[in-house]
Chain A
Amino acid sequence: MVRLLDLGIEKLNNMILDMAELSTKAVTTAIQAYTEGKDVRKEIFEWSEKLRFIQDEVSELAVELIARYQPVASDLRFIKSSMEITYGLSRFGRYAYDITTVLSMFGDLSKCDHSTIIKMADKVKVMICKSIEAFIKRDVELARTLSNMDDEVDNMYKEYVKRIIENKESNLRCSVSATLILRYLERIADHANSIGDKVIYIITGESVPRK
């Protein structure tokens, strides 16, 4: 027997999957364009707006489902989390856009060493994929792996900032632009981590304490 509420929950689920796909694409494209010196601001801005739009639709539907069906237990946890997860996904889009604006602020950065950025971006992309996979498969164990990765990203960011403070990065333009990008990546990792926390909450009801 399909419950009326199930139709709404399935719709929410599909919107989350749409956002997951688009937000992953936004981050990947923004990073790629950055390292290649390509301007993709317009495209990413549109995607980011679209993500925000779907996020608003998710909130609307979630509130409607609560009003209509008074969901409880795992239904309620899913609906609450759908709002939080889509917030995270729309932030992926927003930070992807922020990454694209760095190029226009700083101009040509092709002489800069992008190795730290590429290393961190690879890790962050893995985190995005894992958070989404954990959601799709409702995989608590996978979701739990995100916390350590988030710590690693935080440390990479802190180490890079330390190097700048200690004047180990000589080129100011390169180091300031890289710091911004790393900061955006670090924020994305944070949101991927909290998506993982929501997956854990949906399944177990356990709220993971914030860091």
Chain B
Amino acid sequence: MDKIEAKDLNAWYDGNHVVKNVSLRIKSNQITAVIGPSGCGKSTLIRCFNRMHELIPGAKVSGKVLLDGEDIYDDSVDPVDIRRKIGMVFQKPNPFPTMSIFDNVAIGLKLNGVKDKKKIREMVERSLKMVALWDQVKDRLNDSGASLSGGQQQRLCIARALAVEPEVLLLDEPCSALDPNATSKIEELIVKLKENYTIVIVTHNMQQAARISDFTAFMYLGELIEYGETSRIFKQPEKELTEKYITGRFG
């Protein structure tokens, strides 16, 4: 089943056309990796999936993005609601440094108007358990988020995204600031999360895409060059450009 469908999606920054006529279907409960050289539009593409792109001054979007068949760019849709359903985690772990570990996870719930303290506690615990951080932090929930290691901070950010019960998780190079050990832990977590979430991950690490994703999209200069099952893309890409990029014969 398709969770997200992009149809003729285009994106601009001040007239600079950076995502060009992209159409693709993201499958439910699967991990889709977006790969391609730096600057090819990967981050912009996934930011169009939860209406984050339009927050940048001068940014423009055209085309459609359907979530469960409904166009998220329809006038009747509240973008805040979309961003709750489609959560995002960024490249650098970005816990709010002045906030406690607890509040770092609870913040999304509070911003979404959840007031019930008991419910908030439950959701924070549940989210921290999902990212396998609970046992390590349960006795120091009031410590600053910045006191955690890089890998733990990234898991904290994933917990924050999960706390508001999204349906889709967009991960933009979530491991690029992490060491190999923390990276494999995050990868294991991502694979586990696909049971309950649809995941789109931007990565510049092709081996990471090969290890964890079910589908791979390869972008180049704003265009979607090839999209298909990861097992095929890495054994037998159809397009010459894909072959060149994934074998490191680019440029």
Which A residues form the contact surface with B (CB < 8 A)?
3, 5, 70-77, 205
Q: Which residues of A sit under 8 angstroms from B236, Cβ to Cβ?
A: 73, 77, 205
Q: Which residue of B lies closest to A80 (CB)?
A: B235
Distance of B239 from chain A, by nearest CB (Å): 11
Contact at A73–B210, with CB atoms within 8 Å?
A: no
Contact at B234–A72, with CB atoms within 8 Å?
A: yes
Bound-complex Cα distance A15 to B236 (A): 25
Q: Which residue of B lies closest to A201 (CB)?
A: B236
Bound-complex Cα distance A77 to B235 (A): 7
Contact at A70–B237, with CB atoms within 8 Å?
A: no
Give me 18 A-to-B residue pairs in the complex whose CB atoms sit less than 8 angstroms apart, sorted by A's number: A5-B248, A70-B207, A70-B210, A71-B247, A72-B206, A72-B235, A72-B247, A73-B234, A73-B235, A73-B236, A73-B237, A74-B243, A75-B247, A76-B235, A77-B235, A77-B236, A205-B235, A205-B236
Contact at B249–A72, with CB atoms within 8 Å?
A: no
Q: Which residues of A sit under 8 angstroms from B242, Cβ to Cβ?
A: 73
Q: By DSSP majority rule, is chain A's interface helix, strand, loop, or mixed? A: helix
Contact at B207–A73, with CB atoms within 8 Å?
A: no
Question: What is the interface size of chain B, counting residues whose CB is below 8 A from a CB of the partner?
Answer: 13
Q: Which residues of B sit under 8 angstroms from A75, Cβ to Cβ?
A: 247
Asked if B189 lies at the interface with its beta carbon under 8 angstroms from chain A, I say no
Within residues 10 to 60 of chain B, which ones have a CB less than 8 A from any CB in chain A? Answer: none
Asked if B137 lies at the interface with its beta carbon under 8 angstroms from chain A, I say no
Distance of B59 from chain A, by nearest CB (Å): 34
Asked if B246 lies at the interface with its beta carbon under 8 angstroms from chain A, I say yes
Q: Which residues of B sit under 8 angstroms from A76, Cβ to Cβ?
A: 234-235
Bound-complex Cα distance A71 to B206 (A): 11
Q: Which residues of B sit under 8 angstroms from A77, Cβ to Cβ?
A: 235-236
Contact at B247–A74, with CB atoms within 8 Å?
A: yes
Q: Which residues of B sit under 8 angstroms from A70, Cβ to Cβ?
A: 207, 210
